[in-house]
Amino acid sequence: MAGHPATSSRPVRVTCLKTTLPAIALLLFAAEAALADVPRARIEGVENRDLREALVEIAGTEEARSDNRWRNRDRARRAADRVRRYLDSEGYFGALVDPRIDEDLQPVVRVVPGERFTYSRTDVVFNGPPDQEHEPGEAISSLMGIEAGDPVRAQPVITGEAATTDALRNAGWPYAETGEHAIVADHVTGEAEADFIFSTGPYLRFGEPQQAGGLADLRPEFIARLAPYEYGDPASQRRLAEYTQRLQGLQSIALAETRLAPESEADGNIRPVDIRMEPNPRHRIELGARYSTTEGVGTSAEWARRNVFRGDETWAVNAQLATLVSGLGTSLTLPHWRRYAQTLEFGAEVFAERTDAFDQNRLTLRTALSRPITETLFASVGVEAQIAEITDATGRRQLNTISLPTGLAYDDRDDRLDPTQGIAGELTLRPGYTFGDDTAQYVRAEFAARTYFSLAERVVIAVQGRVGSLLGADAEQVPADIRFFSGGGGSVRGYGYQTLSPRLPSPVTGELEIFGGRSLLEGAVEARYRFSDTLGFVAFVDAGAASFRTYPDVSDLRYGAGVGVRYYPGFGPIRADIATPIDPRPGDDPVQLYISIGQAF
């Protein structure tokens, strides 16, 4: 509506409703009102309570009362202008709005809203090329959502046209636009007739994807596999955006863009999809470090080569040098293997572990296949073979293992590095067969879950739980890494590494030595306070224990508590925690310190 319509007995033509009947920026008015205390003007003449309250809010506020005649006249005029535009947007086209000052020189706006106009007829019109073979159906036209008898309000028009345009752009008309809506209002009857007009543009279908620019070197068939559409599907802006996100998510791609090819490349209404991609650097190096008073110092490094076979494959080599574990590993990851989002991975590791519970040298070969079931649910299955030489409380043995790890994971967290809300959980079943100096068949089951929720604007509560069980074999019959251990920085802070685990007498000294068990129960609660963009503090309580039994026993639990500091350099927090055992045993240190990268969980 170009302006406030004058009252007349003849029809008045109104055009461009979307630009002339706006919602008057209600959010801006509300924000302004939140900063002030004094109403800009008093509203008079409106009997409807809801409408009167809305007009008071729309009129706005001032920081202080004024007794200046000219200033208050200006306030009344500004309030009246807002009220008038709001009434137009709500269908009160015949409203009378009179700004003035009262006998006390205070601003007043007298309003006679009159009758609200309603639609007597509505129609949705689609204008497309004259030779168009396809036309939008009732399912799209109904999205306008405005019918005869509805009040002539701006917001439903804005909402309806956005929904209709979006539907057109994702159903074969990617260049659809909102046209010039026409409303004819009759001030005698208080009714309006409306034609909501849309320009559809040509009806198009998706053709083959083609590289149209950039330096990325990916196989054409791999790029085509990532497309979220089939050849000949109706063109869709939403699917183009999804295609861009899929390409952008590749490890080897820094920047991706997709768009329909120019009309000159079209075959009828089939348009190829032009793709432009810029690559990431071919190689990357990552470094890590950690320290604990009981686990010692640890460093790690990883070198990776991207896009090994022009299908976004990643070959990585990682090395670890630490007090407890040192070794070398390599992996080859094939993303989107045979279908979108399905990942095939091969890996090999040689590690030497030196702990108070055992010494173990192991060679591991593995392969795993994983894929999402839904956006938040993921499944994996694999095969793993291991040769291990173990020295522990039972002596020195060699055990060879073949296992089939299978997992199911759920994750809807808002941020995987530093979550503030959501739930994550994993269920892992590992049936295995061990042979060599001992023989056993077993199933190792473990379930872990974490949840996060905001207690206040800067306070996040994080809760973690973990339970596990070894079925079908004794702890002495399986390699050390199949047993369950508790205690330490990634388990129960405040206690030494693995010290909350079952013990066996040493064959040499007869003294009890940490051995590991057949079950595990752990939990933790952490309160995280974000003091600033770069600094945070935490307080936590951990609990846990491992047992020789196949089921965890709550009575075995030990508790630790502490506080920590988090520094946020921009790539995830660096944490430092100090903890103490709540119910220490003889030999337990009173304080433990842990420093590493990333949240505890």
Of 131, 116, 122, 106, which is closest to residue 157 (Cα–Cα)?
Answer: 122
Using DSSP's 3-state secondary structure scheme, residue 40 falls into coil
Decide yes or no: CATH 3.10.20.310 for domain 36-112.
yes
Our CA dihedral for 264, 265, 269, 275, rounded to 10 degrees, sits at -130
pTM: 0.76
At residue 220 the predicted structure's pLDDT band, cuts being 50, 70 and 90, is very high
- 214: DSSP letter: E
Quick one: average pLDDT of 329-338? 96
Using DSSP's 3-state secondary structure scheme, residue 436 falls into strand
Residue 347 pLDDT > 90: yes
What is the model's pLDDT at position 165? 97
Contacts of 584 (CB under 8 A, 6+ apart): 590
Using DSSP's 3-state secondary structure scheme, residue 536 falls into strand
pLDDT (tens digit, 9 = 90+) per residue, 184-202?
Answer: 989 889 999 999 999 999 9
- Name the strand (E) or helix (H) holding 538: strand 535-547
pLDDT (tens digit, 9 = 90+) per residue, 390-431?
Answer: 988 888 999 999 999 999 999 999 888 788 899 999 999 999
pLDDT (tens digit, 9 = 90+) per residue, 224-278?
Answer: 999 999 999 999 999 999 999 999 999 999 999 999 999 888 888 999 999 999 9
pLDDT (tens digit, 9 = 90+) per residue, 296-324?
Answer: 888 999 999 999 999 999 999 999 998 88
Q: List the structure tokens of 386.
A: 């291991």
User: Range with the lowest mean pLDDT among 46-50, 282-286, 334-338, 509-513?
Assistant: 509-513
Gyration radius from the chain CA atoms: 34
| Calpha distance 89→180 (Å, rounded) | 17
Residue type at 305? R
Residue with tokens 């965890």: 552
Whole-number Cα distances in Å, 187 to 22, 48, 140, 148, 155: 21, 21, 31, 17, 21
| Calpha distance 506→515 (Å, rounded) | 10
CA angle 336, 339, 343 (to 5 degrees): 35
At residue 279 the predicted structure's pLDDT band, cuts being 50, 70 and 90, is very high
Quick one: average pLDDT of 87-91? 94
Of 29, 46, 203, 201, which is closest to residue 113 (Cα–Cα)?
Answer: 46
182-186/11-15 β-pairing = antiparallel
At residue 11 the predicted structure's pLDDT band, cuts being 50, 70 and 90, is very low
Q: In the chain, helix, strand, coil percent, each to 5?
A: 15, 45, 35
Phi, psi of 164 (to 5 degrees): -70, -45
Residue 1 pLDDT > 50: no
Residue 582 pLDDT > 70: yes
Phi, psi of 328 (to 5 degrees): -135, 140
Question: Do residues 355 and 498 make contact, with C-beta atoms less than 8 angstroms apart?
Answer: yes
Quick one: average pLDDT of 574-590? 91
Q: List the structure tokens of 288.
A: 């890590």
The boundaries of every CATH 2.40.160.50 domain in the chain are: 369-597
pLDDT (tens digit, 9 = 90+) per residue, 550-567?
Answer: 988 888 899 999 999 999
- 484: DSSP letter: B
Residue with tokens 């320290």: 291
Quick one: average pLDDT of 122-137? 86
What is the model's pLDDT at position 439? 93
| Calpha distance 219→429 (Å, rounded) | 36
**CATH, domain range 369-597:** 2.40.160.50
What is the model's pLDDT at position 34? 47
Quick one: average pLDDT of 432-448? 95
| Calpha distance 317→143 (Å, rounded) | 54
Provide, rounded to the nearest whole percent, the portion of the chain with pLDDT above 70.
Answer: 94
| Calpha distance 11→538 (Å, rounded) | 68
The boundaries of every CATH 3.10.20.310 domain in the chain are: 36-112, 205-279
Question: Do residues 14 and 34 make contact, with C-beta atoms less than 8 angstroms apart?
Answer: no
Please give the CATH architecture assigned to the domain spanning 205-279: Roll (3.10)
- 267: DSSP letter: B
Residue 6 pLDDT > 50: no
Which residues are 542's β-sheet partners? Answer: 524, 560
